[in-house]
Amino acid sequence: MNMFSSRRSDRRTNAIFHGIAALWSILIIVLAGWNYWESYSSTLEIARSAASESFSKDLVYRRWATQHGGLYAPITPETPPNPYLSDIPERDISTPSGKRLTLINPAYMTRQVHELARKAYGLQGHITSLRPIRPENAPDDWESKALQGFERGLKEVSSLEPLEGETYLRLMRPLITEAGCLNCHATQGYKIDDIRGGISVSLPWSPFRKALQSQLRVIILAHLGIWAIGVLGLYLGRNRLQKFLSAHRQVEETLRESEKKYRELSIIDDLTQLYNSRHFYHQLKTEIDRSERYEQPLTLLLLDLDDLKKYNDAYGHIEGDRVLQRLGLVVRRCLRQTDSAYRYGGEEFTILLPMTTSSDAAVTAERIRTEFKKETFSPTPDREIHVTVSIGLAQHRPQEEMKVFVHRVDQLMYQGKKEGKDRVCSDPAVKIPLT
């Protein structure tokens, strides 16, 4: 019986070992793929940043040339007079020594710089427009789609695309009409701040691909080494399974203790079933970081029940708790899934509205105020009472500290109290909807 049990235990141990080894192998494959994807994404971003820097340089020296009305250069076979500037009186001039010079406008200069960059580094640049003066500036299919996107409000387009039989990282941004641009383009009907066209920058992807291939070899070798070490560790640990089981029991006990502590530090307010203030500050920091990272609006509401102390004094704290519970229900009913509400303390509540401007938040705040005012409370059989709430709201400002933000909303709520309660009070620029 003992031998049978031992063999069964060995079979179970071997099954566990092979199962863990299989999971370990899958994990290593997944990690290797994830690391390669991270390398690919990083390389793509490096290439996009390089293209972006090239565009920025093009834009800077174009503006410099525009500020000076262009510049003059000797006439050569590589720099003939620009036929599209023939209407300018001093397109061609002569120096006192007799050297012939021709006017180089910003577009002409940019084209020549692009030609030099293409010969020296393989970097391709192209000035283009949906209404080009020069036929050679007509967009290709990719550029045409990007220009149409700029008309719809896009600020940048970038992607990996085939070009002349090779893969290129292509990036394009719009050219905005400035005052100096009208010297050449006023006849086309452009006005200041119009989208006149764009500059596309195309970087050969092959150097980046080679770098990725080198990184892939390193990733494969590194993960093979990690995999081998892991499998060796599994073999060595197989004979210590009993210790592992003992440690597992200790882990279970630790987990039970952790679960107990977690219940003690619950993030839910028992009375209202909303989040508590501890979780509010944690989530507020998270939402502020997300708002600033993605440049999305974030609005905070702070609610305070009007005269709850008087209500408690008159009818008792149990009735007051019913008011708090009801407000929690009304708040949850009026919010979206992306919003979150918190019992801030006492009779105060806070609400976080991500991706919401203060104007849109004012609509939500007013809906909460009016919906709660409709609620009827009967602290005694012969009385029906309506309780009101005062609400302050404000949109987070860039780089504003969390405590300053909360204090600003708190002051707006108290301003509503001073102005008569039962109202929504926000920044002066926000118009509160009438209900």
pLDDT digits (tens, 9 = 90+) for 197-228: 888 888 889 888 898 889 889 999 998 999 99
137 pLDDT more than 90: no
d(CA 12, CA 18): 10
Determine contact, residues 129/139, Cβ cutoff 8 Å.
Answer: yes
Quote the pLDDT of residue 340.
Answer: 95
The b/e string for 153-175 (b: 16+ C-beta within 10 A; e otherwise) is: eeebbbeeeebeeeebbbbbbbb
Residue 265 has pLDDT above 70, yes or no: no
Residue 427 reports pLDDT greater than 60: yes
Q: For 177, which DSSP code?
A: P
When pLDDT is averaged across residues 178-187 and rounded to a whole number, the result is 57
What is the pLDDT at residue 323?
A: 94
pLDDT at 66: 75
> Please, what's the b/e burial string for 250-261 (b: 16 or more CB within 10 A of its CB; e: otherwise)?
eeeeeeeeeeee
Q: What percent of the chain has pLDDT over 90?
A: 40
Residue 115 CA to residue 122 CA, distance in Å, equals: 9
Least confident of 131-145, 168-182, 352-366, 367-381: 168-182
229 has pLDDT over 80: yes
**Domains (range + CATH), the chain:** 66-209 (3.30.450), 275-425 (3.30.70.270)
Among 141, 116, 115, which Cα is nearest to 130's?
A: 141
Tokens 């992607």 belong to: 159
Q: How confident is the model at residue 275 (pLDDT cuts 50, 70, 90)?
A: very high
Q: Looking at residue 101, what is its pLDDT?
A: 87
Residues 6+ apart with CB under 8 A from 29: 223
Query: 245 pLDDT exceeds 80?
Result: no
pLDDT of residue 296: 95
Half-sphere exposure for 197 (CA within 13 Å, toward CB): 20
User: pLDDT value at position 165?
Assistant: 87
Q: Which range among 58-62, 105-109, 299-303, 429-433 shows the weakest confidence by mean pLDDT? A: 429-433
